[in-house]
Amino acid sequence: MSTVLPTRALAAAPPAAAATAPSPQARQLEHARALYTQTPATLAGNLVGVVLVVSFFSGVAEPLRLYGWVAVMAVLWSTRLAHYLRFLRQPDADDATLLAWRQSWRVLALLLGSCWGLAAWMFWIPTSPPHQVALLLIIYSYCVGSVQMLAGQPRLFVAFLCLVLLPTVARVATDMGHPFRLQLALIMCILFGAVWLMARTYRSALAQAIELKLRTDQLAAQLRVEKAAAEDARRAAEAASRAKTQFFAAASHDLRQPLHAMGLFAETLRQRCHDPDVAALVNSINESVDALEGLFGELLDITRIDTGGVEVKPAPVRLREVFARLRLHFEPTAFEKGLALTFRGEQHVLHADPVVLERILRNLVSNAIRYTEDGGVLVSCRRRGNRLLLQVWDSGIGISEQSLPRIFDEFFQVHSSQRPLEPHQRKGLGLGLAIVKRLADLMGAPLTVRSRVGHGTVFSLEVDPGVVPAPTATPVEVSPKMPLGLSLQGRLVVVVEDEPAVREGLTVLLKAWGADVLDFDSVGTAEAWAASVAPPRPDLLIVDYRLPEARTGLEALDAIRRRWPSERLPAIVITGSSLSGHEKEADTHDFHLLIKPVLPNKLRAMIGFKLNQR
């Protein structure tokens, strides 16, 4: 017996508006596939019927007649099984082949129906009512089981019923020895109508199921096309985002070059001219260049965050390594201002994005140094419950209570009510803390601030602890130092820079500070000089990171240092790109990094730090 599909549920399913009506050929092909899908069940039912006939009529019916009928049924059953196996072996058969198989399948169904109709005459035993009842039940059950197989083809099903039931009805009606032959024949006719009604209901449900499947296939194909289009659009958007980021990086590098040269030339002018008015103008130029440097960094960072260019990838982070890079970057600035830059808790390990975390700390430490004139800056980490608390303390001017709620807003700059801000403290667009807040939100790390005007400020960031053990090392602190007054008298400085204006400005400035300068425009010329006979030993190397012929200043550093392998020549690398982190390279090649445009006071502080001069 077959299970009738839920026609009400199928009818209630809304039609797909976007899909067109399936073609008649598509319906026929889908019906052919459904026929072969149901073949195992019909073969099993047919086999059970034959086994029952043999069981009931063996020893009663004539053996030749019985086993001859069984042999014919076995041939037809095997042929249908071969049809089904062929379908399994060729699941991707073309449409014409499937329709041809459907036609041969119909012929086999009619031949099987003929054999069952013939069985009503071959095995009807007038003198044995139990065998008559068994034969009628087997034949009727086979007809009901064939509903699922043939209902989708109404003409074929009617022909099948006629071949099976009409001979059976005729045999019952012509049994003159049966007292209720006509009544039994009438019952068989009524059952014939019931099977036909059942087949009609199943045919309707099957048609709706096939219709829904075809529409679903159409929608799936349409969805695949739209998904491919959406994927192409996503890739195009990602490419546009990458192009935008690369554009900002390239524009940042190219715009920093003339600013860098302008700052160097302005400082050289101040060194040569002792007019107080000219000195004041030069100071204003340097402050403007420094302000532009801050603007480039802030605009680039905020653009990357807004365009989704910052992807947070949490991982175990050793604070010792982060603190070492912060120390590398900010020591010269703190050294020049006479501030103590101290780090505590570097033994801890955090679970955070290392790049985002370091960018947050860089902004906070930079702000702390900018707004602090006396005392120092402390970067610390300690446990608070199940989390770690990262803090940046300073002894600077502080933030008023009225300004605290707005310090993370874009374009808002803090103004102290106790003392006016110095010009170098008013630089920027007010995006630094906004960037810090956005990056902290991206990491899911709560950021808070406390401050007292005239006493200082502390920013606190809560992060999860990591699981990687941190290696032990002796903490290093920077002691307070007096502001720098630099003299390079008798010092030899090697400069490798491909931009003529920058190279000239840097050379003139270093000579104004008393240094002897050797300048080269490529790695090749620097290598040739280092390989020459008895070149003078330099005291300091200043190289640009990006040089012609796709080479870097690191190659120039290695070439010159190989000439004096027993001495680690101090080096400063200058780059115009703020997107690429060079901290690992700085640790490997032992250099300090400056981002263009480099103001003369920053360069002076860095040179003094590298040469250990005050």
Average pLDDT, the chain: 77
Residue 518's pLDDT is 92
Within 432-539, strands assigned E span 447-452, 456-465, 492-496, 516-520
Helices (H), 58-146: 63-89, 95-122, 129-145
How much is the average pLDDT of 335-363? 87
Are β-strands 376-384 and 447-452 bridged in parallel, bridged antiparallel, or unpaired? unpaired
pLDDT at residue 237 tops 50: yes
**Res. 3 pLDDT band, cuts 50 70 90:** very low
How much is the average pLDDT of 334-344? 88
150 phi and psi angles, rounded to 5 deg:
-115, -5
pLDDT, tens digit (0-9, with 9 covering 90-100), for 301-338 = 656 665 555 677 788 989 988 898 888 778 888 888 88
Alpha-carbon separation of residue 155 from 28, 37, 204, 604 (angstroms) = 14, 21, 14, 100
Residue 355's pLDDT is 78
**pLDDT higher for 147 or 508?**
508
- Residue 145: alpha-carbon gap to chain centroid: 53
Are β-strands 592-595 and 571-575 bridged in parallel, bridged antiparallel, or unpaired? parallel
Instruction: Lay out the sheet containing 516-520: strands in order across.
Output: 516-520, 492-496, 540-544, 571-575, 592-595
Residue 259's pLDDT is 66
**Res. 502 pLDDT band, cuts 50 70 90:** confident
Q: Retrieve residue 377's tokens.
A: 């800056």
Residue 4's pLDDT is 37
Instruction: Assess contact for 336 and 484: CB atoms under 8 A.
Output: yes
209: nearest Cα among 509, 423, 7 = 7
CA angle 525, 529, 532 (to 5 degrees): 135
d(CA 612, CA 596): 23
d(CA 117, CA 172): 12
Residue 421's pLDDT is 47
d(CA 172, CA 166): 10
What domains sit in the chain, N to C, each tagged with a CATH number?
A: 21-179 (no CATH), 256-303+484-611 (3.40.50.2300), 312-465 (3.30.565.10)
**Res. 473 pLDDT band, cuts 50 70 90:** very low
Least confident of 106-120, 129-143, 578-592: 578-592
Give me the percent of the chain exceeding a pLDDT of 70: 74
**Res. 102 pLDDT band, cuts 50 70 90:** confident
**Res. 486 pLDDT band, cuts 50 70 90:** low
Residue 155's pLDDT is 77
Instruction: Assess contact for 294 and 427: CB atoms under 8 A.
Output: yes
Render 221-278 in DSSP notation, one character per residue. HHHHHHHHHHHHHHHHHHHHHHHHHHHHHHHHHHHHHHHHHHHHHHHHHHHH---HHH
**Res. 478 pLDDT band, cuts 50 70 90:** very low
The most confident of the ranges 156-165, 197-206, 313-322, 402-411 is 313-322
pLDDT at residue 219 tops 60: yes
- Residue 97: alpha-carbon gap to chain centroid: 44
How much is the average pLDDT of 181-185? 77
Q: Retrieve residue 54's tokens.
A: 């043999």
How much is the average pLDDT of 103-110? 81
Which are the contacts of 169, defined by CB distance < 8 A and separation ≥ 6? 185, 188, 189, 192
Are β-strands 540-544 and 456-465 bridged in parallel, bridged antiparallel, or unpaired? unpaired
pLDDT at residue 422 tops 80: no
- Which residues, in sequence order, are bridge partners of residue 391? 380, 460
pLDDT at residue 96 tops 70: yes
**pLDDT higher for 1 or 537?**
537
**pLDDT higher for 413 or 371?**
371
Residue 542's pLDDT is 93
pLDDT, tens digit (0-9, with 9 covering 90-100), for 122-132 = 888 877 888 88
Helix or strand or coil: residue 384? Answer: strand
d(CA 468, CA 483): 40
d(CA 162, CA 78): 24
pLDDT at residue 5 tops 80: no
pLDDT, tens digit (0-9, with 9 covering 90-100), for 548-565 = 888 888 999 999 999 898
Looking at residue 124, the DSSP 8-state letter turns out to be -
Please, what's the largest Cα pairwise distance for the chain? Answer: 143
- Which residues, in sequence order, are bridge partners of residue 460? 391, 448
pTM of the model: 0.41
Helix or strand or coil: residue 574? Answer: strand
Residue 496's pLDDT is 93
Residue 63's pLDDT is 87
pLDDT at residue 17 tops 60: no
Residue 479's pLDDT is 37
**Res. 298 pLDDT band, cuts 50 70 90:** low
Residue 483's pLDDT is 38
Give me the percent of the chain exceeding a pLDDT of 90: 11
Instruction: Assess contact for 101 and 150: CB atoms under 8 A.
Output: no
Indicate the Cα dihedral angle 153, 158, 161, 167, nearest 10°: -150
Q: Retrieve residue 454's tokens.
A: 């005239």
Helix or strand or coil: residue 289? Answer: helix
Helices (H), 273-353: 276-306, 319-337
Residue 471's pLDDT is 47
**pLDDT higher for 405 or 570?**
570
Residues in the chain: 614
Residue 28's pLDDT is 63
pLDDT at residue 178 tops 90: no
**Res. 108 pLDDT band, cuts 50 70 90:** confident
**pLDDT higher for 544 or 578?**
544
208 phi and psi angles, rounded to 5 deg:
-65, -40
**Res. 411 pLDDT band, cuts 50 70 90:** low
Instruction: Assess contact for 349 and 316: CB atoms under 8 A.
Output: yes
Least confident of 130-139, 374-383, 447-456: 130-139
